[in-house]
A and B are shown apart, each in its own frame.
Chain A
Amino acid sequence: MSGSPVLQMKNICKSFPGVKALDNVSLNIYSGESMALLGENGAGKSTLMKILSGVYTKDSGEMIFKSKPHTPKDPKDAMNKGIAIIHQELNLIPELTVAENIFIGREPVNAFLKVKYSQMNAEAKRYLEQLGEKTSPTAKVSSLSVGQAQMVEIAKALSMNAEVIIMDEPTDALTDVETENLYKVIRSLKAEGKALVYISHKLSEVFDVCDRATILRDGTFVDEKPVSELDEEKIIQLMVGRPISDRYPKCDCKAGDVVFTAEGLTNSRITDVSFSIRSGEVVGIAGLMGSGRSEVAKSIFGEMPLKKGKISLAGKELRINHPSEAIKNGISYVSEDRKQLGLIIGMTIKENITLPALKKFQTALSKISFGREEEVSKEYIDMMSIKTTGPSQRVVDLSGGNQQKVAIAKGLVTAPKVLILDEPTRGVDVGAKKEIYEQINLLKAKGMSIILISSEMPEVIGMSDRILVMSAGRIAGEVSGAEATQENIMKLAISNIKNAV
């Protein structure tokens, strides 16, 4: 571990109307190291990074970069000074090529303003090779995988001589192989003396790639510690301010009779998927990204057409061609992507919660009863402990964890028999995660059948009674919750992939 930090943020304060977002927060960033920035949703991580990268200006405090005061006017200014931020949602233009994206706004031109493509492509190639990427600089970004696109962003940061690179939830959409590749690149960036800030909700990653960790809670600075002095339990305690005893609470409930069966579900993405689920049972679906986990859910829910296969609920065979028919028959789906597929974020909490069950709120002349709507959404706000000013608050103004709770409430409002939860805790902080798990157990105790799809293995193992492991569109095997380990799930997950990894 090296000496003094290349960039220091000291006693930063920032207020927004009505809230103090940051109160005397400090952060040190060291060359050749990766600093984990940790905290629950709303702890102030993004605000702090937005001040560093010039999106917001601080109210007070100071920033010192290479022993000089750092006062970025705007994001472009911060970038020119050597601070690059790689957002969770990548900022690339899909219809342009890799090289065009890397050099956008800074294209090398000749005297007639014609872009010197050969020079631009050659330089882009050099940066990509530096990252061990074989992507062609003339490939369109729309043809790349998320992992490759992320490498383009990193290449862009390198091309701008960035010394500080901030990565916000970089592995969120990556496959395991891509994640390994990213780790390799992070290590080589560190070896070149770059200073990194790494933001992630997946705590295990901190131990894989970070050297130190700074922990924030409710807009205040908690601690900076070398990672070697920390473990997951300690980090959670620092983030939440209290120890979280049992991360995966157990429910001592008995499963009932078989409620739902799927037989031989087959379409372009899944092959011969069969399973059944009892009332009061949680069945986990694990597998690598792209193994067909979400596709099983979408096929059951009528969002993806089935070529073959039978679905029955309570002994009755169902024909489902549209999500509305699935909902009518008692199946709910909470999607993996709450912003794109789950919620209408410009609408209010109550409008979102009641949307799938609006028929129930109708009175004469097809008039919606606003009173009932208000009442029912208040019940769900209490039940899910959604932190909000009230049912009329717009969803866009909620934190990620609270948005996710609204998405789950929306899945429950139709009183389903089968609830499909696809990545129910993605991008959700530790405290809210536990609340969601406890809710799952309550629903289970009431006899609901729950299908839990997740790429977080400890979550599937901790919450499921049985786990189906998918591999290349098929169910490769089943393990009981008690016997499940990350190793035996992984073995099944790669069993149908030839030449894996």
Chain B
Amino acid sequence: MKIDMKDVLKRSRPLLGLIILSVIVSLISPDFLTVSNILNVMRQTSINAVIAAGMTFVILTGGIDLSVGSILALCGAIAATMISSGFGVAATVFATLALGILLGVLAGIAITKGKIQPFIATLVAMTLLRGATLVHTDGKPISTGYDAAADAFAWFGTGYVFGIPVPVILMIVVFLVSHYVLKHTRFGRYVYAIGGNEEASRLSGVRVDRIKIAVYALCGLVSAIAGIILTSRLSSAQPTAGAGYELDAIAAVVLGGTSLAGGVGTIFGTFTGALIIGILNNALNLLNVSSYYQMIAKGAVILIAVLMDRKK
């Protein structure tokens, strides 16, 4: 097979950006390229990366999901309540993930059957669910408690397996599964097809509505996973957790080269996009940049990346 160098370069542009960024950061700060710091970066990245994986599916169909941060918060709060009320880890995790899927399905139904634009439908969900979280928590953090179940639940956010933090392992699993589903299964092919041309997909026999609902359900599921990781890590659920996470997830997807118009992009790109954001945050911390300036730096990097991507 002939390999088109231009094509390879274009595809690997996010990766190239990641490498350049890493080299620069490791030159400025010797603390960066240490095993403990790399794992630290990965763990900090994991929550955004897990959400961004689901967001990639949604954006590939030409949609958008603004409700991920609110789903994270509500699922996290329910998880904390259940653990502290003695439900046990298995039941809690199962119920939390089911809730995430259900919320995604509802958004998907509003979008497909209710014919509401994804932006609006998920904006509504974002507001409603944030309100629900505030009502449920009464605006105060909910602690997971101090019993054995709470300790076991803490494993998701703070545990290690072979020296690797559990959130990092969860993130890698989510990405491997997402890659397989997108590149190798019928469902993944349909996701790309719908983003490429929805009408033509329907006329090719694709059940467009079902696929779209499934995609939002998936995004709800990963948001719930992120909610479990965060709640577990902090041993409590914050009513304002996950606010603004939708924008970080979208930024990771876009940095990874996925088109907001749908149909074009890869899950690997999203992974690099999330890492770029994570490394940037980490580097600015290592360099003692004030958090106010950090946002400016983040915005600037995303702008440069997107501008570079426009040049074909």
Contact = CB atoms under 8 A, between A and B. Distances in A.
Given A322-B207, A328-B205, A346-B263, A368 B193 contact: no
Interface string A291-316: 00000000001010000000000000
A355 B189 contact: yes
Given A343-B197, A346-B196, A347-B196, A335 B203 contact: yes
Contacts of B203: 301, 303, 323, 333, 335, 341-342
Interface stretch (B180-188, B218-226, B235-243, B279-287): B180-188
B186 A358 contact: yes
Given A341-B200, A343-B197, A344-B200, A368 B205 contact: no
Contact of A324 (B193, B199, B205): B205
A344 B202 contact: no
B206 interface: yes
A129 to B, nearest CB: 38
A356 B184 contact: no
A367 B185 CA distance: 5
Given A340-B199, A356-B204, A346 B189 contact: no
A410 B204 CA distance: 8
B192 A347 contact: yes
Contact of A368 (B184, B196, B206, B264): B184
Interface string A324-347: 101110000101000011111111
A323 B202 contact: yes
Contacts of A488: none
A355 B193 CA distance: 8
B143 interface: no
Nearest to B181: A366
Contact of A327 (B189, B205, B264): B205
Interface of B: 184-187, 189-190, 192-193, 196-197, 199-207, 263-264
Contacts of A335: 200, 203
Contacts of A368: 184-186, 189
Contacts of A340: 197, 199-200
Given A341-B199, A362-B186, A367-B185, A347 B193 contact: yes
B289 to A, nearest CB: 40
A87 interface: no
A326 B203 CA distance: 10
B244 to A, nearest CB: 32
A207 to B, nearest CB: 36
Given A341-B200, A358-B189, A323 B264 contact: no
Interface residues of A, number: 30
Contact of A355 (B184, B187, B199, B206): B206
30 contacts: A301-B203, A303-B202, A322-B202, A324-B207, A326-B205, A327-B205, A328-B205, A333-B203, A340-B197, A341-B199, A341-B203, A342-B203, A343-B200, A344-B196, A344-B197, A344-B200, A344-B263, A347-B192, A355-B189, A355-B204, A355-B206, A358-B186, A359-B186, A362-B186, A366-B185, A366-B187, A367-B184, A367-B185, A368-B185, A368-B186
A351 interface: yes
Contacts of B196: 344-347
B200, B201, B206 interface centre (most CB from chain A within 10 Å): B200
B205 A344 contact: no
Nearest to B202: A323
B208 to A, nearest CB: 9
9 smallest A-B Cβ distances: which pairs? Answer: A324-B205, A344-B196, A327-B205, A344-B197, A356-B204, A355-B204, A366-B185, A358-B186, A346-B196
A333 B200 CA distance: 11
Contacts of A367: 184-185
Interface string A345-369: 1110001000110110010011110
Contacts of B184: 367-368
A175 to B, nearest CB: 23
Majority secondary structure of chain B interface residues (helix, strand, loop or mixed): helix
A335, A346, A359 interface centre (most CB from chain B within 10 Å): A346
Contact of B189 (A326, A351, A365): A351
Interface of A: 301, 303, 322-324, 326-328, 333, 335, 340-347, 351, 355-356, 358-359, 362, 365-368, 410, 414
Nearest to B207: A324
Contacts of A324: 205-207
Contacts of A366: 185-187
Nearest to B201: A344
A335 B212 CA distance: 23
A268 B225 CA distance: 48
A345 B197 contact: yes
Contacts of B204: 323, 327, 355-356, 410
B264 A346 contact: yes
Nearest to A335: B203
Nearest to A340: B199
Contacts of A345: 196-197
Contacts of B186: 358-359, 362, 366, 368
A190 to B, nearest CB: 40
Contacts of A358: 186, 189-190
Contacts of A362: 186
Contacts of B201: 344, 355
Nearest to B197: A344
Given A347-B192, A358-B190, 15 more contacts: A322-B202, A335-B203, A341-B199, A344-B200, A346-B263, A346-B264, A347-B196, A351-B193, A355-B201, A355-B204, A356-B204, A366-B185, A366-B186, A368-B185, A410-B204
A327 B207 CA distance: 12
Contacts of B187: 366
A323 B263 CA distance: 21
Contacts of B189: 351, 355, 358, 368
Contacts of B264: 346
A365 B188 CA distance: 13
A327 B204 CA distance: 8
Contacts of A356: 204-205
Contacts of B199: 340-341
A344 B193 contact: yes
A335 B197 CA distance: 14
Contacts of B205: 323-324, 326-328, 355-356, 414
Contacts of A365: 185
Contacts of B190: 358
A213 to B, nearest CB: 36
Contacts of A327: 204-205
A351 B196 CA distance: 12
B22 to A, nearest CB: 32
A344 B200 CA distance: 7
A207 B17 CA distance: 59
A367 to B, nearest CB: 5
A124 to B, nearest CB: 34
Contacts of B185: 365-368
Contacts of A341: 199-200, 203
Nearest to B2: A389
Nearest to A389: B2
